[in-house]
Chains A and B, each alone.
Chain A
Amino acid sequence: MQLKRFYIDFTIAESPVVESIRNRISIPPTYVESPDSIYEMLLKSDDPVSLGKKTLFLTQNRGAFIRECPGTSHYTCCSYKILHIGTYCSMDCAYCILQSYFHPPLLQYFVNHNELLDSLNGIFSRKKIARIGTGEFTDSLIWEQIFPFSETLISRFSGQTYAVLELKTKTIQIDHLLDMKHNRKTIMAWSLNTEKMIHETENRTASLWARLNAARRCEASGYPLAFHFDPIFIYPGCERDYQNVIRLLFKHVSPENVVWISLGTFRYMPDLKWIIERRFPRVILPYGEFIKGMDGKMRYFKPLRIQLYKKIIAEIKKCAPDVVIYFCMEDDEVWQKALGCSPSEFGGLPQILDACVSKHCGIEKTVLESD
């Protein structure tokens, strides 16, 4: 993290987590009673989105730590649960929806970990299968530089048999996690893209090779793996490029340890377009053949999505015939035409993914009652 400003909510100034983080950050903190002054400072700046990436606010999460994935009714959602450890991201992907999701965006890290762990205990005690991830409102591993909380999470998940944790990242900050006892209850997941897209749009992220190498090392440490091709971009030569990534992926990891691969083409709320245009004028990704989807988000024209999905799936099937592939936020027509089946044939997408974690992570079948 390249921080320029560092704020601490004065109500948690004495927290041991804060103390530990303060020792790792070289710039002096400013103590605030509320985030309002930080929001005001960000909104007054010429580029709040960029400044937000360099502004850290240590605070408490006063809302729910475990939230439902904000899917919409028009498309099939995986019913993943979000563990809310913080917001926003220090990396700078041109397409990142978080740029327009928070008003204004700000690196917030929640330090009331005891309450977070209490919420997790609540999930564990339900004795129902749960897939939980930290990589929805932020990257799962960017925070490890300031506080290695994933160690605590991996340890907590390893001691129960009802839930799996998915750590989704574009970083390679895994060294400190390799020797941990995880009991296969943590899935190490990477967001993947073509080398061209990583180079052109995923600023300050690890290279494709580095991500795959990190995945290989995690696999060697016994972790189950997952990969997310999301967002997928349509551009001249994209089919060949994505096929190359898939071949490279399975040169690094074995299909047997891949819990799932998700696919999702680029989609965004219309407001994001002008942010991308202003912040990344050379990037042409907002100029695809988009239409307004049923959820109000801009999506590639459906026949184009289906056409690319088919090519990517064919390559995955060639390399790893048994790996489960699913779509993030697509409808039945796309499932049928690109994958040849509908989630409802298997009881629904959540049930498909629950079966995956049962198989790969040792979740007992008796608790396959995801809600």
Chain B
Amino acid sequence: MQFEAKTVSIDSIDIEDTSFKISTPKQIDELAHSIERTGLLTPPIIKALHNGYIIISGFHRLYACKKIGWKNIESRIISPDVKDVDCLKVAILDNAYNRQMNLIEKSIVLTKLASFYSAEDEFITNVNEIGFGDNLNYIKKLLKLTTLIPELQHGILSGVTPMTIALEIGTYDKESMFPILRLFEGLHPTLNQQKEILTLIRETSKIRNSSIENIVKDQQILDIMNNPDFSRVQKIKELRVCLHKMRYPHISRHYDRFNVLTHRLKLPEKIKLIPPENFEDIGFSMSMKFDSLQEFESCLKVLTSLSDSLEFKTIISNDSAA
């Protein structure tokens, strides 16, 4: 492909035409200062039309030059004969060569590229050629990012919302998206915590036939989020416990009851009563630690006395108050 180096008037470039723009908005002050100090190191690429030019690559450079008052700019000009799909590929390669594209930019690239190909195979071949790989599932996920609301896209760019989480939240109704986003913005949970919290909220809303918004605005959750004595980490912990109780009320009550009854046994630190896993397997187990014969005998006394305890009998009967 041939480029003609030429200085053109900035006013002759249509900066409103964003057909080939793939970069996400960013502050241009620093770039403008840099150009002012050291000049324009890499000229933008523009395409000649019959009555002027459009930008192929270098939108921010042009905005910056305009901001500092330049009237003319040195550019590399693509011939009007070059097809749009090839112009887009130039834009992609020029951006990819100069910096790491973020996820939203990758999504913009794929969305624009997809408009040129109706056959999936052909599209994937071209995606692979520009270095995006050929993992169809990943490509499909990336494509969805441009359809997300700006707040979710911002969450991805700021690192608060991982892509998988953003895509799930993107399927919710708008009234539900914002309370969840605010919850995560305030707490910064890890990816696994976000997945767990979202699953618990989504499933609870299904069980209760209530909106996600209503679940997030449940008074118990608001109390946790608004508690000034809780640190961020404590809030995450309390939120998970609270949501677990909402999602699994009977199981939670069973465990609570077990803990209350076990507490009433007043077992010494060195003796532990362990329930069957998930209360599914048959058989409780006990562990005891001792470092002398005397301590061993003392543990045995405690264990023997348990058989008279009503609480102990209740525990091992494993009947539920469900």
**Which residues of A line the B interface, CB within 8 A?**
284, 287, 289, 291-294, 299, 301-304, 306-307, 331-333, 337
Contacts and interface: CB of A to CB of B under 8 A. Distances in A.
Given A291-B279, A293-B280, A303-B318, 8 more contacts: A284-B207, A289-B249, A291-B278, A302-B279, A302-B280, A302-B318, A303-B250, A307-B322
B1 interface: no
B250 A289 contact: yes
Interface of B: 203, 206-207, 247-251, 254, 278-282, 318-320, 322
Contacts of A284: 206-207
A304 B320 CA distance: 8
A232 B207 CA distance: 17
A333 B318 contact: yes
B83 to A, nearest CB: 31
Contact of A303 (B203, B248, B281, B320): B320
Contacts, number: 50
B251 A289 contact: yes
B280 A303 contact: no
A306 B280 CA distance: 11
Given A284-B207, A333-B318, A303 B282 contact: no
A286 to B, nearest CB: 8
Contacts of A294: 280-281
Contacts of B249: 289
Contacts of A304: 250, 320, 322
14 contacts: A284-B206, A287-B203, A289-B248, A291-B278, A292-B280, A293-B278, A294-B280, A294-B281, A299-B280, A302-B279, A303-B250, A303-B254, A303-B279, A303-B322
A294 to B, nearest CB: 6
Contact of A301 (B206, B250, B281): B250
B278 A303 contact: no
A291 B280 contact: yes
B319 A303 contact: yes
8 pairs of A and B residues whose beta carbons are closest in the complex: A303-B320, A291-B278, A287-B203, A303-B322, A301-B251, A287-B207, A284-B206, A289-B248
Given A289-B248, A303-B250, A303-B254, A332 B282 contact: yes
Contacts of A301: 248, 250-251, 254, 278-279, 322
Contacts of A292: 278, 280
A302 B207 CA distance: 20
Contacts of B248: 289, 301
A287 B250 contact: no
A306 B318 CA distance: 11
